Structure 1
Amino acid sequence: MEGKITGRVTNELYTDKDEARKLNVPAIKKKKSLSFYFLKRCLDIVISLLGIIILSPVFLVVAFLIKYEDRKGSVFFSQERVGQCGQLFTMYKFRSMCTDAEEKLVELIELNEIEGAMFKMKDDPRVTKVGKKIRKTSIDELPQLLNVLKGEMSLVGPRPPLQREVAEYSQHDMQRLGVKPGCTGLWQIQGRNDVHFADMVELDLEYIQNQSIFNDLKIIFQTFRVMFFSKGAY
């Protein structure tokens, strides 16, 4: 898979996965032991596999609703994201927007309601009727369990950014890319879309510096609570 990353930090162009790894990502100050990463990977595999099996009926219902609303559109939305150390990968989601959402973004970019290198809009006109429902409870994110199972993501970690977002990163922001991206993290359980980019970076760095299996489990359980109450989701 090929892609491009441009960054203000290095002013270089990365054209594939191997070169993307050369992105100038600061080293983690408090490096964890091999046993931690082994246990974290085991946790990712077990929970993601169980999640895919247990939630398969939900997958089918959501797929049917998306297809029923727009028979010509695809059920899934795949997008190239930037992972650990600049590694490019394809992230999966249930499609919650119209099929030409990326093209329409150009017209909406000035209406961004989040400060920093992200785009968020509370009443985004690109979101479909079904999309509004599944985004409220983060059901649209469930296909990322496949990314976790493949080892491209972890259950807990910084959200994987877009390449255009990384192009605006400062050296401080680049620290987010020092670990494997996750499906959930401190940002999601402490405000989600109500948190601006700078605050999200600080929460991600707080997580990175205090990684532990116990913290991962605590964040996972708190994520379920946030999903049910749908606070800060749009």
Structure 2
Amino acid sequence: MKILVCITNVPDTTSKITFTDNNTRLNKAGVQYIIGPYDDYALARGVELKEKTGGTLTVLHVGEADAEPQIRKALAIGADDAIRINAEPLDSYFTAVQIAAIAREENYDLILMGRESIDYNSGVVHGMVGEMLGINSYSPVMKLELEGSTATITREIDGGKEILKANLPLVLGCQEPIAEWKIPNMRGIMTARTKPLKVVEPVATEEMSAPVAYSLPAPKGACKMIPAAEAETLIRLLQTEAKVL
């Protein structure tokens, strides 16, 4: 079993975000980065499956050298080796092309990633990769079991859940509760230092989009507290100020 887990390098949700270059680029100064939370779920389930079925688990990241601490953390959690495609992930299409190029060379049985990154939240990379490789993709996957070359998948759908069976190879976008996040132990941290991390250059691809500008959401407005006995006042404010009635 060859498993590939794709991870993103995203700002911690507690980081203060600003922009530079006339609001066309994220200002990385002072920003704390982490593995994307949904990717953490994918990585945790990938490690569990590797331990259960044997084989190898490779971590893949499309990004620059500043992401290597997060890649090493993934190695400490249980990945056997890692690949970093040395390029800024310009958009979902670019990222998908790079992942598909590596996957096509290595013939992975299972490709796992988060259902979406928490910075751009596009949620389309897994579908694009599946299309480019000509294999099935499903998301968001909440449960995954393997029996030989058959996967039993539980995924969230509008109004409920869907359970289905599909043959490998597959591309899956993962979310909780597929697995519990894993914290690297000291032995894992030490062995991660010697695990192979291969850096490759990106394949050429067409630029499909480019950011024009970024902006922060509007600040939250003041909160007015209305006593429970003054329902008429609340209704009037909802009509005249909030304009939701």
Pairwise same-fold verdict (TM > 0.5): no
User: Whose helix fraction is larger, Structure 1's or Structure 2's?
Assistant: 1
With normalisation by structure 1, the TM-score equals 0.27
| Bigger fraction of residues in strand | 2
TM-score (norm 2): 0.27
Bigger radius of gyration among the two: 2
